[in-house]
Amino acid sequence: MGITVNVAIFASIALLVAIYFIYSRVRHVERSYGTVVITGASSGLGHSFALQYARRAQYLVLIARSRQRLADVATECRALSPSLTVDIISADLSSIPSDTAGDVDHQGAEATANAIKALGISSIDCLVLNAGISSHCPAAVTPLSHLERVMDVNFTASVVLTQRLMPLLSTATRPRIAVVSSIQGFAPTPTRAVYSASKHALHGFFGALATENAWLNVTVVCPGWLDTNLRASSLSRPGAKVSANSKHALSPDVAAAVAVQAIADGKRMIIIPRRFWLVYWAQVLVPGLLARIMRRSYCKKP
Ligand SMILES: NC(=O)c1ccc[n+]([C@@H]2O[C@H](COP(=O)([O-])OP(=O)(O)OC[C@H]3O[C@@H](n4cnc5c(N)ncnc54)[C@H](OP(=O)(O)O)[C@@H]3O)[C@@H](O)[C@H]2O)c1
């Protein structure tokens, strides 16, 4: 009798493990999308996202200011997947026109959302909110102009696009939003106050959005250092030297591949590479210690 019960328990556990394994494999291979919209697709991580989704989607909409670089990315995507349709939208997501990016066809997130709708799309399966800029400056002296621009591009534009595109997301079968934050989105970082604040804001807004809408999968993507142009193009005080990319910087192609899988799996947050979960837990459990370590690494004594 006892042996029969043990065998039954063992068989039940084995069955549950098998069901879980099959379920996780089914989720793992889910990879076909209709329409994917990507902001900041002209370089770095956004370019890598575009190449990843070129293999998985039927229709890509790529957005950034630089028309030429977007056209080059679109050509690469079509080469990867000849049946793919790609449209590009040259737009400055900020409502404050920039003097560095040349002419754009659309100014501001509202106008960009209208340009997306004008393409005649009936639904959006995945909206990748990746466009971003950085700022290097001590918190106490960061100019208001940097604060306004960084918040506008990194936070407000993502909110406005999402709100305007919700009707198109709601008609997709399994709609997803991927919003690109950073390690600095949960660990306040010296000399990156405004950038860090803009990324923290994304966690607050998109966390609430996900909680309100069970039908919508929202993944917050938090990369560490990436080997991209972000640092070189960051806003900084005149004369301030922004250090070069760290030698530990990760390839954006690797980060995008990991992120795309996490988005397909419906994860709420992904930290890339995984070792930076240590920073997350340090911020939750021992924030004072983390602040001391950060101060030593980022703040030089005068
Ligand atoms: N690099 C890192 O170490 C790192 C780490 C964590 C998170 N991230 C995040 O990753 C995302 C992508 O950055 P990246 O590292 O790939 O840097 P990147 O190569 O400089 O890419 C930034 C992208 O955003 C676009 N963009 C910037 N301002 C814009 C505006 N006003 N309107 C429309 N598009 C705009 C840029 O295109 P145009 O210039 O053509 O407009 C470009 O396509 C950002 O959200 C960034 O915060 C980066």
DSSP structure string for 38-55: EESTTSHHHHHHHHHHHT
Pocket of ligand 1 (CB under 6 A): 40-46, 64-66, 69, 91-94, 101, 130-133, 153, 180, 182, 223, 225-226, 228-230, 233, 252
Terminus-to-terminus CA distance in the chain, angstroms?
Answer: 78
**Is position 52 within any domain?**
yes
pLDDT at 242: 62
> What's the CATH number where 53 sits?
3.40.50.720
Residue 87 pLDDT: 98
Q: Output the pLDDT for position 29.
A: 46
Residue 7 placed within a domain: no
Report how far ligand 1's centroid is from the alpha carbon of 15 (Å). Answer: 46
Nearest to 61 by CA among 70, 52, 69: 70
- At residue 294, the 3 state secondary structure works out as helix
Judge whether residue 300 has pLDDT over 90.
Answer: no
Ligand 1 atom 19 nearest Cα: 44
Q: What is the pLDDT of residues 103-157, one digit of tens each?
A: 899 999 999 999 999 999 999 999 999 999 999 999 999 999 999 999 999 999 9
Q: Would 121 be classed as within a structural domain?
A: yes
Atom number in ligand 1 closest to CA 227: 1
Report CA(263)–ligand 1 centroid distance (Å).
Answer: 19
What residue owns the CA closest to ligand 1's atom 34? 64
Domain extent, residue 260, equals: 33-298
**What pLDDT, in 10s, does the model give residues 207-264?**
999 999 999 999 999 999 999 989 888 888 666 666 666 778 999 999 999 999 999 9
In a domain, 204, yes or no: yes
